[in-house]
Amino acid sequence: MLWSALLLVSAAQAAHILQGRPVQGLPHRSLYVRQIPESFGYSGNLYQPPQYQVPQYFDSQPFASYPYAVQPITAVVLLKGDSEVEGTLLMVQPHPPNGPVFVNGNITGLSPGKHGFHIHTYGDLRNGCTSAGPHFNPYQTNHGGPVDPYRHVGDLGNIVAGEDGVVQIQLSDHAFSLTGPLSVVGRSVVVHEMEDDLGRGGDQESLKTGNSGKRLACGIIGLAENSSPPPPPPPPAPEASE
């Protein structure tokens, strides 16, 4: 019977398997190499070239050298809605475009318990929180929790309000950034009426929204005063003419 056998090897081992041909650009990475033929009890000497794919989650930006001094980026969110729920959030990314974003703030006016807390795609609040669109999900994955390997970039899980209806928020997240292609600046944060089931509710709505219910409050993520994204790298130097 044919079976799928994947051998987990190091980059150095993979280079040896490929008859000494070096594997470019993958130092200290684990590679999956497929043995051919895939027959039980038979060991062949042909191998499919290894392939490595950067995960679609958490690696918000590739780590690379940057020609400028890195300055932290700060963003603010003012949460308001049709209900009494309101709050202020501060987002700080110390080492943009890489590394986590730290979110701090407080929200008042909530019912005690858990409430879904997400970044949504649009910063359009002309029709209230409804026009903020779905969760920010550039990779088109199913909804999940903030520590799940597959999740929406905007999935921040739940916040928990005390008996006084107040939430003190202190969290960090690696999935989104405040600059670059995964920047959430100009998008919105939404607080929901119900607990987010983190995609484990067993129905289609759970895989989209976590069954978090009504949108109670929302706010646009905007750059704070004296905060700006790092400048772009300089253009390549022109080639010398012969």
Catalytic: which of 115, 151, 192, 197? 192
How does DSSP assign 160-218, residue by residue? EE-TTS-EEEEEEESS-BSSSTTB-TTSEEEEESS---TT-SSSHHHHHTTT--SEEEE
Annotation says 28 is catalytic? no
Q: What is the largest CA-CA distance in the chain?
A: 76
User: Which residues on adjacent β-strands are paired with residue 51?
Assistant: 32
Cβ count near 143 (within 10 Å): 29
Annotation says 143 is catalytic? yes
Half-sphere exposure of 211 (CA within 13 A, CB side): 11
Catalytic: which of 115, 151, 152, 187? 152
Annotation says 120 is catalytic? yes
101-108/126-129 β-pairing = unpaired
Tell me, rounded to whole angstroms, the distance of Cα 57 from its chain centroid.
Answer: 5
| Tokens of residue 159, six digits | 């916040």
Annotation says 16 is catalytic? no
Q: What does the buried/exposed string (b/e) look like for 166-179 if buried means 16 or more CB atoms within 10 Å of the residue's CB? A: ebebeeebebbbbb
**End-to-end alpha-carbon separation of the chain, Å?**
62
Cβ count near 126 (within 10 Å): 7
Element (H, E) at 16: helix 11-17
Catalytic: which of 115, 151, 187, 215? 215
Q: Which residues are catalytic?
A: 118, 120, 135, 143, 152, 155, 192, 215
